[in-house]
Structure 1
Amino acid sequence: MALLPTAAEQKTRPRDLQSQNYAPPRRSRFIDLVDAGIRTGRKFGMVENARWSRDDLMGEAADAYGLDDFGDEWFTRPLDVLLDSARAEAHLNAAGDFSAMQQFHHLLRDRLYAQMWYNRHPEILARPIKNPVVIVGPMRSGTTRLHRLLSADRRFAHLRSFETISPVPRPDFEQVMAGEKQDFRPVLARRILKVARLANPRTLSIHPTGPFEPEEELGLIAASFYGMKFEAQWRVPTYTRWCEQESAVPAYRHMANLLRLIGWSQQESSLRPWILKTPQHMLDLPALLEVFPDARLIFTHRDPKSVVGSAASLAWNQTIIYSDDVMPQPHGREWLRKTELMIERMRSARESIPAERMIDVQYDDMDNDWRSSMERIYRFLDLDIEPALPGMKTYLARTAASKRVPHSYSLEEFGLSEGEVYERLGEYASCYGIPVEGGIGETRPAIAAG
């Protein structure tokens, strides 16, 4: 069922918004043509209908690649819930359920290939992951900017976009390492990003990327069919609530093994700390710290009004690709609820983390004086910033030169008001000294290192 607001929530909306119907921004004609083509293909038996059976999907992948070891079978639990929720609640169009089947097949294939590599090279799983630097913040709170600045420092290891799309090398990768073949994964990533741009150009203007850009590890968590990647592209409320009640430790263990595999495939020194970031960590800090007990944490903070509006806009612009039935108001209410839960979970987990292992960074401070903010971070990491500055300046110059379309959105189009957001999240802003309109977050307590 759709995530509809309660009667109490309806009363908190601005009166003029309760009677207005906002239409989603129009997706591109490309998806309409793809959708019509798939429907026609199914009508004449040229395109298979979506199959929502876990056994069918796993059997098809095993037969296609001649492998049958998918690793830790914990993933079958979230997969079952996701299949049921997507089929019953997401209202997917033909292009949407076709894309879903492709995604499931891709993830299952990667699980088979991952186990193949672990069996071929047991030393992969012995690679240490020491002292990772993990950026933790709500969606749209400046985590991408900070991640890419730190990734410009060659003293750190990072994922590239094609590796979060396809973290597992293909069986012929040893020939790639020997220089005899080209790695197909960047080619595939370019194709996927091109299709994404055709499907809805706004999504890549909101979060610009390219095959070799530093990218977050959300795809590695999704490899266990767990987490927010699916929530941000489909309306799957039953699956969402299931994930929120489960321990994420198995998904994080699988993510860590994929990082080991990626480090091995990059021929990366295991002595270089990884730079990691994804908003999923806000919900799952206990799992993150169980799997990476020596992680150093950088928390990012931004005006809640901007976080909620921007997150809702990003998720909505992805959802309208796959469904013809997406109203903005319930979508906005869900991402307000989700942001509030992320902040609650993060604050609770911080109570047991030693202060010397974390630092807080303000979005506005990075906007106003990025170098001073980065110098604070480097003091926290006990590193000299000077060797990193040339790479950071190159990244910032390249970003400034790109003709990026500004990300425009409003709370009102999602049935929300500033007053409601601050009523729900104003105490968080005050506690962490986040500058917001009206002065809610003017004081800045000394709550962490730096």
Structure 2
Amino acid sequence: MTTAETARALDVDGLLAAARDKTGLHDYGDDWFVEPLSVLTNALADEANLSDLGLDLTRRRLVASLADRLRLKQLQAEHPAILDEEVVVAAEICGLPRTGSTLLHRLLASSPEVTSTLSWETSYPLPFPGESPDAELRKQKARDRYEMFLEMAPDFGDIHTIEWDGPEEDVILLDRTFTSMSYDSFYWVPTYGLWLREFDQAPAYRDLKEWLQVLQWQSPDRDGKPWILKSPHHLTAVDTVLDTFPGCKIVMTHRSPTKAVPSYASMVGAISSQYSNDVDPKAVGPYWRDRFVTALQEYAVVRAARPDRFVDVTFQDTVSDPVGTATKVMGELGLPADREALEAYMERNQEQRHGSHTYTAEDFGLTEAGLEQDFAFYEKELAS
């Protein structure tokens, strides 16, 4: 697929029109999102080397995200009470990818005292026409999508356990703002990633709050329950998270980057190979090394200014004593810990199949010695 062909297929005006045609709706509300969408589509055309299948899937994905923006604005207009929903976020679990954050998130979310974004609803957050309150149509589509994903990337489940109906990262909601770490994880788009480092993500987080409002509005059983959310993406906007959600704490999961960075590079390689037949693993590693060096440096600045908004968890503690660690975190968040629910989740977790994937830092253009030097500032903090 040539650059010119990809650019035509991902023309922003064409995508906007396609979503309007798909929904019969026209009001996108504030069009701030057009800038990130334009940066992303330019990078996809110039850098991503999309296959024919990759281009088709990507165009569908972008149109679907735009269609959801249109539907959200329509639903808010029809039901103004949605915007009156009070969203209370107790925690955003951050940390580098591959630091135990997924296990911690699913443990904390198992408590009946809190709520979290679920995988099926991050994929299909808005009611289908005529749908019953149990959302069975959306759940079925999510199951089908999950099965298709595993067919395309059969080894991915060995790297990261997927639960179509379990807690999932709220960054998937942010994908609809086109300011998301998902995009440079799924595609080779370094220009987009560099741009995102400098972009003010405040409008995206205002949108995220609106998505949480609409999910809460659809589920009365969430009334009064604080949200426990999670994504490494939030490391790119720590100040913005804390400003958007007063009272929210950052639960920072810690693991040596010499382990975490090659592990994430392995995951990115598995994902991006679905969309391109030309993925260079030795470029992927240095790219994410640089991204995470920047993210951790910026996190350190925010932490120093707002130390009361952070909770620390080590990978070793999460792995060696998951229930005890989760109980401690809940206490630091001022929330009750239901040990029975935590232990029940761990039983389910042990029953799930966990494969293994083998890789080295050198597979991704890195060395352990180089990573130790690059992240020495962070390793020093971990040791203190």
Shorter-chain TM range is: over 0.9
Partner of 2:86: helix, strand, or coil? coil
Of 204, 214, 220, the residue aligned with 1:261 is 214
Give the % identical residues. 29
Task: Tell me, in whole angstroms, the C-alpha distance in 2 between the residues paired with 1:50 and 1:160.
Answer: 35
Unaligned runs of at least 5 residues, structure 1: 1-34, 36-47, 434-443, 445-450
TM-score by length of 2: 0.95
More divergent stretch after superposition (368-377 vs 410-419): 368-377
In structure 2, what is the Cα distance between the partners aligned to 1:223 and 1:49?
20
Distance 1:50 1:198 in 2: 29
Deviations 1:4-46 (A, max 9, x none): xxxxxxxxxxxxxxxxxxxxxxxxxxxxxxx9xxxxxxxxxxx
Aligned-partner Cα distance in 2 for 1:263–1:407: 37
8 Å Cα contact 2:104/2:322 also seen in 1:
no
**Is 1:164 paired with 2:122?**
yes
Cα deviation, residue 366, structure 1: 1.4
Q: Distance in 2 between matches of 1:49 and 1:185?
A: 31
- C-alpha deviation, 1:427, in angstroms: 2.4
**Which residue of structure 2 lines up, in the alignment, with residue 312 of structure 1?**
265
Distance 1:49 1:328, change over 3 A: closer
In the alignment, which of 205, 208, 220 is matched to residue 252 of structure 1? 205
1:383 is displaced (CA, Å) by 3.3
Q: Is 1:282 matched up with 2:282?
A: no
C-alpha contact 2:113 2:336 (8 A) present in aligned 1: no
Cα-to-partner distance string for 1:272-321 (whole Å, 9 max, x where unaligned): 10001100111101111221122122111011111101111111111111
Over the aligned positions, Cα root-mean-square deviation in angstroms equals 1.9
Equivalent residues in 2 for 1:135-214 (5 A)?
A: 135-173=93-131, 176-177=132-133, 182-214=135-167
The 8 Å contact of residues 190 and 210 in structure 1, kept in 2 or not, is answered as: no
Residues 296 and 195 of structure 1: is their aligned pair in 2 closer, same or farther, counting only changes over 3 Å?
same
Matched-pair contact (CA < 8 Å) for 1:129–1:270: no
- In the alignment, the residues of structure 1 paired with residue 296 and residue 288 of structure 2 have an alpha-carbon distance, to the nearest angstrom, of 12
- Note the C-alpha offset of 1:61: 1.4
1:408 aligns with 2:361: no
> Within 1, Cα distance between the matches of 2:303 and 2:127?
36
1:403 Cα offset (Å)? 2.1
Q: Which letter maps to 1:384?
A: P
The farther-off stretch of 371-380 and 189-198 is 371-380
Alpha-carbon shift at residue 49 of structure 1 (Å): 10
Residue 134 of structure 1, CA deviation: 1.4
Q: Is 1:215 the counterpart of 2:168 in the alignment?
A: yes
User: Counterpart in 1 of 2:83?
Assistant: 125
1:379 aligns with 331
- Identify, as 1 or 2, the structure richer in helix: 2
Deviations 1:47-74 (A, max 9, x none): x996121111111211221101122211
Question: How many angstroms does 1:372 deviate by?
Answer: 3.0
Deviation string 1:202-233 (CA, Å, 9 cap, x unpaired) is: 22322212221111101111111111111001
Cα distance in structure 2, aligned partners of 1:170 and 1:339: 38
AA of the residue aligned to 2:327: E
Q: Which contiguous aligned blocks of 4+ residues in structure 1 show a shift greater than 3 angstroms?
A: none
Match of 2:341 among 387, 391, 398: 391
Question: How many equivalent residue pairs?
Answer: 381
1:12 alignment counterpart: none
Contact kept in structure 2, 1:168 and 1:258, CA below 8 Å: no
CA distance in 1, matches of 2:17, 2:336: 52
Contact 1:50 1:101 in 2 (8 A): no
Deviations 1:234-268 (A, max 9, x none): 11111111111100000111011001101111223
Residues 85 and 237 in structure 1, CA contact (< 8 A), matched pair in contact too: yes
Matched, 1:369 2:321: yes
Asked if 2 retains the 8 angstrom alpha-carbon contact of 1:127 and 1:270, the reply is no
Structure 2: 5+ residue runs without aligned partners? none
